[in-house]
A = this chain, B = another copy of it.
């Protein structure tokens, strides 16, 4: 038996349906579905995308029997429409359209009015009682067919029109007479000949040439490029389908017209009919934008019946598809035809409102509502955005000067400053954007004061990126195209220079950098509808959501966003503030254990208060505190001037300061003396930090009756003995304090899993750990051997050349890093079945990574405060998807 390749629809019956998008394309599938729903759709048939697949697999041959099948369907179409292809009395005209499962620019779009020839044009004239209309349609068809199907340059057709207009001294196309149009038809035929082509008079031949053209367009450069750029693998789709639909005409006079509409307002989500209508026009006129369309009320004036039917259809479609629809329709002499329906694109605000409303309307379940909103939608609602009109304008004005990595979402405009200090000074009075080669902890105060941060170097997990995300502040990083000249206080990009004080605007969601001041729109925040939706998400998700927060301000934001604990408190971030950095530096400069302990004793009360602040905010929720992690050189000033001052402050020689800096210099600090390696060399630091944590907990319990669940986390463990050694210091210190306090305090000791060896030997490590928290930034770094601060240089090439599909610092690499996480989970749980498992890398806020982590079976994700709402949604979506897979 031959395989079925062609699917007919018409007269209320269809062989296809909406689920067959893969074979019929979105357009064909929905035309079939609407037909079956009894909606008025012009009849037609769709040639399956499997034909396209066969075509390319068999050196551009069609499968056996296709010709016969198409012709059979054509006969059926003639019968249904009671017209005949090429007929001089009552000709059948069709449109031929391409359409794949997902919308894809670059392929051949549409040929209208196919079936016209020297005979049938006469029939059309009779049928419409409008000879001018018929010849205009004919010459348009010849032109479109030549251009789209045969590749004759569009402008050559235009030249013929110009020639006629010149000859007859006409100004507008519409001023051409019937005879002019007839002459144009002849001139077009001549043009074909000059180009070595022939205009086929046989409509069947026309049809096959058009079908060839559609399938041929699947592999044209634009389409291939589009798939490459959008990371659609060549084998993800079968190819394109071809829909052949009988023509209806919206330009048959004042009782005709055409329009597009949304079943709800795509900007706000309100349940308002929304659309545009153009009387006496065809679809292409709407697109061309020559005439300004009316609102849908215009349709009412043309035909109240059609108007009412359209709205009835809206209800039918929404009830059937259970989603907001975006439709195209045509009214031919008062009769409404639907030409397309699809799920409508919408803004973030609309997406949330529509989802919530449809649950209220009992159209969809809460679970479906949760699936309808994307993480990007949530992100948009939480950050400032550029006014889209303004942004469009500046792009047209060529003010987009560079593109970096979109490191922290949102939009910002401000005056360029090149130093954190100046940012602090100016930032209180006017908006500034801090532009740095890269940032370091010294720049944090300046980052707080700035509207946004732009760096020339560093990746998505660089200092600038991590800190900015923590603050919910817009940042573009690793913008290698810009060359920052701090001395002359300007940055260069290509031939442009931007001086300190000039305005720039940056988009942290796209990585774009503009010169000039683009207006931004304030975020909506976690208001009613979004809040409701996320509560539903909370009911669905299995994963816990914690936050990465170092200070009470961030912790508060995260709590308001729904965080259920702190998954990562980076204690060293506390060390950079002005009141404590001197003691930290004194500690680093110490030559003996005693000196070091003296300096640490100054830090103890400060750090204890820090922890009390955090614990108060997270009342009763777990707080994971990581012991000191970065290499010590990060706490020392880099500039000679500051180093000289430090020498004075510490009462030591400048030479000694230089010596310390020199000693602490490392070739590869990321793999150097940091993490638990520091506390192994200087156990007294772990003692101080443990004291601060435990004393803070005890005091809060005694004085304010606040429950604290501290989880003390040892970073950068690769060998169980490292954890054993540091854990011993922690428990000795903590147990002593707790015993003496008379308070019953539970605390956990666990480790980050961020070194590959830790994952490989997780069974050994689990014996000493009460929890694992996967530090997937470092784990990604070391598993790939990609320095996160340097990888910007080559990752771009990797993505461009398709070597990697996504930036592994953005989305967790499932095959490599994910496999290690899974291995660690399995090995860890094999030893300790209740081992608590979480992830605290930047991936904790990335939807796809959250799904990977959910699938692996960790207990929670922890992410920066502004990602918490996104994580809540993503975790719920992941749970629903995983459930479905089961």
Interface positions of A (Cβ within 8 A of B): 666-673, 677, 680-681, 716, 718-719, 721-722, 725, 754-757, 760-761, 764, 778, 781-787, 789-791, 793-794, 797-798, 801-804, 813, 815-817, 819-820
Interface pair A783/B760, CB less than 8 Å apart: yes
Q: CB < 8 Å: which of B782, B801, B816 contacts A782? A: B782
Interface pair A790/B757, CB less than 8 Å apart: no
Quote the shortest CB–CB distance from A702 to chain B (angstroms).
36
Interface pair A794/B677, CB less than 8 Å apart: yes
A756: which B residues are within 8 A, CB to CB? Answer: 756, 782-783, 785, 816, 820
Q: CB < 8 Å: which of B719, B789, B797 contacts A816? A: B719
Q: CB < 8 Å: which of B668, B681, B761 contacts A815? A: B761
Q: Given A668-B789, A671-B668, A719-B804, does the pair A784, B755 have CB atoms closer than 8 Å?
A: yes
Interface pair B794/A718, CB less than 8 Å apart: no
Quote the shortest CB–CB distance from A806 to chain B (angstroms).
12
14 additional A-B pairs beyond A671-B786, A719-B804, beta carbons within 8 Å, are A666-B789, A667-B787, A667-B790, A668-B668, A668-B669, A668-B789, A673-B790, A718-B785, A719-B816, A721-B803, A722-B803, A756-B782, A757-B813, A760-B819
Main secondary structure of the interface of A (DSSP, over half): helix
Q: How far is the CA of A781 from the CA of B819 in the complex (A)?
A: 20
Q: Given A718-B816, A798-B680, A820-B756, does the pair A668, B803 have CB atoms closer than 8 Å?
A: no
Q: How far is the CA of A789 from the CA of B791 in the complex (A)?
A: 20
Q: CB < 8 Å: which of B722, B760, B790, B801 contacts A820? A: B760
Interface pair B721/A668, CB less than 8 Å apart: no
Interface pair B722/A793, CB less than 8 Å apart: no
Quote the shortest CB–CB distance from A637 to chain B (angstroms).
18
Quote the shortest CB–CB distance from A169 to chain B (angstroms).
54
Interface pair A757/B816, CB less than 8 Å apart: yes
A672: which B residues are within 8 A, CB to CB? Answer: 787, 790-791, 793
Interface pair B789/A667, CB less than 8 Å apart: yes
Number of chain copies forming the complex: 2
Interface pair B764/A815, CB less than 8 Å apart: yes
Q: Given A669-B668, A680-B798, A816-B761, does the pair A783, B803 have CB atoms closer than 8 Å?
A: no
A718: which B residues are within 8 A, CB to CB? Answer: 783-786, 816
Q: How far is the CA of A749 from the CA of B790 in the complex (A)?
A: 28
Interface pair B790/A671, CB less than 8 Å apart: yes
Quote the shortest CB–CB distance from A622 to chain B (angstroms).
27
A667: which B residues are within 8 A, CB to CB? Answer: 669-670, 787, 789-790
Quote the shortest CB–CB distance from A119 to chain B (angstroms).
56
Q: How far is the CA of A804 from the CA of B676 in the complex (A)?
A: 14
Q: Given A719-B816, A816-B761, does the pair A668, B787 have CB atoms closer than 8 Å?
A: yes
Q: How far is the CA of A669 from the CA of B672 in the complex (A)?
A: 13
Q: How far is the CA of A778 from the CA of B786 in the complex (A)?
A: 12
Interface pair B785/A716, CB less than 8 Å apart: yes
Q: How far is the CA of A141 from the CA of B130 in the complex (A)?
A: 138
A666: which B residues are within 8 A, CB to CB? Answer: 787, 789-790
A755: which B residues are within 8 A, CB to CB? Answer: 783-785
Q: How far is the CA of A787 from the CA of B791 in the complex (A)?
A: 17
Quote the shortest CB–CB distance from A142 to chain B (angstroms).
46
Interface pair B797/A680, CB less than 8 Å apart: yes
Quote the shortest CB–CB distance from A671 to chain B (angstroms).
4
Interface pair A785/B790, CB less than 8 Å apart: no
A790: which B residues are within 8 A, CB to CB? Answer: 666-669, 671-673
Interface pair A760/B725, CB less than 8 Å apart: no
Q: How far is the CA of A697 from the CA of B719 in the complex (A)?
A: 46
Identify the interface centre among A669, A680, A681, A784: most chain B CB within 10 Å of its CB: A784
Quote the shortest CB–CB distance from A791 to chain B (angstroms).
8
A804: which B residues are within 8 A, CB to CB? Answer: 719, 721
A671: which B residues are within 8 A, CB to CB? Answer: 668, 670-671, 781-782, 785-787, 790-791
Interface pair A801/B761, CB less than 8 Å apart: no
Interface pair B803/A784, CB less than 8 Å apart: no
Q: Given A755-B783, A815-B764, does the pair A801, B668 have CB atoms closer than 8 Å?
A: no
A813: which B residues are within 8 A, CB to CB? Answer: 757
Q: CB < 8 Å: which of B681, B760, B787, B798 contacts A794? A: B681
Q: How far is the CA of A216 from the CA of B422 in the complex (A)?
A: 70
Interface pair A783/B757, CB less than 8 Å apart: yes
Q: CB-nearest residue of chain B relative to A723?
A: B803
Interface pair A725/B803, CB less than 8 Å apart: yes
Q: How far is the CA of A782 from the CA of B786 in the complex (A)?
A: 10
Q: How far is the CA of A718 from the CA of B798 in the complex (A)?
A: 12
Q: CB-nearest residue of chain B relative to A683?
A: B801
Interface pair B760/A816, CB less than 8 Å apart: yes
Interface pair A680/B784, CB less than 8 Å apart: no
Q: How far is the CA of A671 from the CA of B802 in the complex (A)?
A: 21
A785: which B residues are within 8 A, CB to CB? Answer: 670-671, 716, 718, 754-757, 778, 782
Q: Given A784-B757, A787-B666, does the pair A793, B680 have CB atoms closer than 8 Å?
A: no
Q: CB-nearest residue of chain B relative to A725?
A: B803
Q: CB-nearest residue of chain B relative to A778?
A: B785
Can you list 27 pairs linking A and B with CB atoms under 8 Å apart?
A: A667-B787, A667-B789, A668-B670, A668-B787, A668-B789, A669-B787, A670-B671, A671-B671, A671-B782, A671-B790, A671-B791, A673-B793, A680-B797, A680-B798, A680-B801, A716-B785, A718-B816, A719-B803, A725-B801, A754-B785, A755-B784, A756-B785, A756-B820, A757-B784, A757-B817, A760-B783, A760-B816
Quote the shortest CB–CB distance from A180 to chain B (angstroms).
54
Quote the shortest CB–CB distance from A761 to chain B (angstroms).
5
Quote the shortest CB–CB distance from A788 to chain B (angstroms).
8
Interface pair A794/B680, CB less than 8 Å apart: yes
A819: which B residues are within 8 A, CB to CB? Answer: 760-761
A778: which B residues are within 8 A, CB to CB? Answer: 785
A794: which B residues are within 8 A, CB to CB? Answer: 673, 677, 680-681
Q: CB < 8 Å: which of B681, B716, B754, B820 contacts A797? A: B681
Quote the shortest CB–CB distance from A536 to chain B (angstroms).
37
Quote the shortest CB–CB distance from A790 to chain B (angstroms).
4
A673: which B residues are within 8 A, CB to CB? Answer: 790, 793-794
Quote the shortest CB–CB distance from A680 to chain B (angstroms).
6
A668: which B residues are within 8 A, CB to CB? Answer: 668-671, 787, 789-790
Q: CB-nearest residue of chain B relative to A764?
A: B815
A754: which B residues are within 8 A, CB to CB? Answer: 785
Q: How far is the CA of A755 from the CA of B786 in the complex (A)?
A: 9
Quote the shortest CB–CB distance from A636 to chain B (angstroms).
16
Quote the shortest CB–CB distance from A304 to chain B (angstroms).
61
